[in-house]
Structure 1
Amino acid sequence: MAIRKWHLKAIVQKCISVFPNPERVNNVFQRHVTQGIELDDDHFGYKIEHARDHISYVRRYLNTEQELEILELGTGWYPIIPISMYLSKVGKVTSIDIQSWLTKESFITALRKFKEWRELDKLSLFLTEIDDSRWSQLMSIEAEPGHFSLEEINEIIGLQTLLLDARDTDLPEDSFDFICSNNTFEHVYPEVLKGILTEFKRLLRPEGLMSHFIDLSDHFAHFDESISIYNFLKYSKKRWRIIDNSIQPQNRLRWKEYLDMYGSVGLPITEEETRKGNLDL
């Protein structure tokens, strides 16, 4: 059997997973080999689309006369959601992760992509209510980044980043109006995800809302076009444990399993949207 690109990536990530500080080693691998964390137009596009949809749900279901307290699961490298919430005057974001990826450099990279898309008249297709004074504030940071530290930039947009276990945040009960995530759930194993949802239920205010986007596809297919987005489903649990890795784990849960998990922790579902895949892929 011929070795495919995804086989090589799986082997490399499996090897990296046994290194000390494997996430940092993988960060170097992605940045310099696969370019998997570059903020290109495709990457920014799906992130800003998520921001648009989160904001749409907020406007539809919550009272937005006052700015909200927002919790984001998965800070990542580029604060697209927090910047969008700031520009749209939706609320202040507390973003939690188990690794620290956000840097001043990556923040400025994100600002420059916002600027580029606005100059191309593309940003308004996603963010329809940008506050001019807040935009000017961000552009002053983008123009002279040396005058600001990352901490100062975060404070300006109301972003607080925390490194903690989302199953046990030690944050006050009923402290958030809106909780969101972006293609994060699929990387969390079921027993851990159930604990996270239980904690989110505790943190969410009685009239609050959650919005989570989940990518159900085989992520190796993003790297290797020779396989389908369903490729990982053909492997047994035992075989998949050998292939899977702690760097970018994939739980392979299907949509109904997420719905069942919501039900098991007592979380009601107000609205759901699925995008059907192509079975011919």
Structure 2
Amino acid sequence: MTRAPLNRWWVKAAAQGALAAAPRAAALDDALRRRMRGAYLSEDYFLSKWRHVTQHLRALGNPGDRPLLKTRAVEIGTGWFPIVPLGLAVHGGTVVTIDTGQHLDAARVRLAMQRLSQLEAAGTITAASPERMARLRELLLAPPPSSAAQLLEPMGIRPVIADAQDLSQVPEAHGSNLLVSNNTLEHIPAEILAGIFREFLRVGSKSARMSHYIDLADHYAGFDPRITEFHFLTMSPTRWRLTNNRLGFQNRLRIGDYRELLSQTGWRVTREKLTRRPTRSLDGLRLVPPYDQVPIKELLVVKAHLVTTRA
């Protein structure tokens, strides 16, 4: 009798869940990811994030080839490579990038800076601040520093470990006119997202705009091709609690939920770009409540870029 192959997504979920229960789980997970990924940054990955830079600039009405004048930006979800903060910085902006944990290190920041320098020199990307580009290249020629902050702060970027629901101790964030995220919001529970949006409203300038990239697909589908981007919508709340974990948390919010959260917290969506899958993508799936009641047009959205202003 042939044994059915293990579901790869479940193996990953179980391994993450076990790690999440360990003492100092976040630090262990971070160390494991560093070892598995190594110090490598592909050109394709860099350019995928650079497209976010371009769209964040356009949220301010900047086509991407003009210097940012008096622009103060806040990013949540710094991650491993600070490509978006560097992109905003070489256009002349100052940036506070916020995360709940320390993922940056000097080696990976240098990799991001080197890629930026190479691609700008080749004409593949544009940087509107020659002064900042010159500063970046000076930093790359200098002896390697011991910390990520020593590379970023001369570029006008301050990395901060904080809860974005309370930025009272981050004065550089106050008066910001651009607040962004890049495939981060889907990893945050709805009630915390509401707190972040309210805090952004409080610290943002009168003309503040938010620009958020959101991945609404089941992230396990990228690991296991036998499931679809909508697979997690077939799991009951009880089963999903067993599968979901704090190291790989996914909130399962749909596009309508994000619109509602933004409206409730004082923001108005002025522009949105949505990526939808065809209706046949749902064939054979038994959606559980409340997803079986979501309008199909909303349900099929797997990626979104939302731009908002104060309501």
**What TM-score does the superposition give when structure 1 sets the normalisation length?**
0.88
Matched, 1:72 2:91: no
Structure 2 counterpart of 1:135, one-letter code: M
2 CA distance for matches of 1:143 and 1:225? 43
| Mapped contact 1:82–1:157 kept (Cα < 8 A) | no
Out of 186-195 and 130-139, give the one that drifted further.
130-139
Partner of 1:85: 88
Name the larger-Rg structure.
2
2 CA distance for matches of 1:42 and 1:279? 29
| Mapped contact 2:87–2:127 kept (Cα < 8 A) | no
Secondary structure of 1:269's counterpart equals strand
| Mapped contact 1:31–1:38 kept (Cα < 8 A) | no
Alignment length, in residue pairs?
274
| Mapped contact 1:108–1:145 kept (Cα < 8 A) | no
1 CA distance for matches of 2:39 and 2:11? 18
More strand by percentage: 2
2 CA distance for matches of 1:277 and 1:184? 21
Secondary structure of 1:181's counterpart equals strand
Match of 1:100 among 99, 102, 106: 102
How do 1:194-205 and structure 2 match up within 5 A?
194-205=194-205
Residue 140 of structure 1, CA deviation: 2.6
2 CA distance for matches of 1:210 and 1:132? 26
| Mapped contact 1:141–1:148 kept (Cα < 8 A) | no
CA RMSD of aligned residues (A): 2.4
**What TM-score does the superposition give when structure 2 sets the normalisation length?**
0.80
Partner of 2:138: 140
Structure 1 counterpart of 2:153, one-letter code: E
Residue 41 of structure 1, CA deviation: 3.2
Structure 1 counterpart of 2:237, one-letter code: K
CA change 1:13–1:194 in 2 (3 A) is same
Partner of 2:290: none
Residue 38 of structure 1, CA deviation: 5.0
Residue 132 of structure 1, CA deviation: 2.9
CA change 1:67–1:246 in 2 (3 A) is same
Matched, 1:254 2:257: no
**Kindly, what percent of the aligned residue pairs are identical?**
29
Out of 95-104 and 243-252, give the one that drifted further.
95-104
2 CA distance for matches of 1:10 and 1:178? 35
How do 1:259-278 and structure 2 match up within 5 A?
259-278=259-278
| Mapped contact 1:30–1:37 kept (Cα < 8 A) | no
| Mapped contact 2:262–2:268 kept (Cα < 8 A) | yes
Structure 2 counterpart of 1:232, one-letter code: F
Task: Render the CA deviation track for 1:173-221: whole Å, top value 9, x for unaligned.
Answer: 9521111111111000111111111111111111111111101111111
Residue 144 of structure 1, CA deviation: 3.4
Greater relative contact order (Cα < 8 A, sep 6+): 1
CA change 1:149–1:185 in 2 (3 A) is closer
Name structure 2 gaps, 5 residues minimum.
282-311
Name structure 1 gaps, 5 residues minimum.
none
Out of 181-190 and 171-180, give the one that drifted further.
171-180
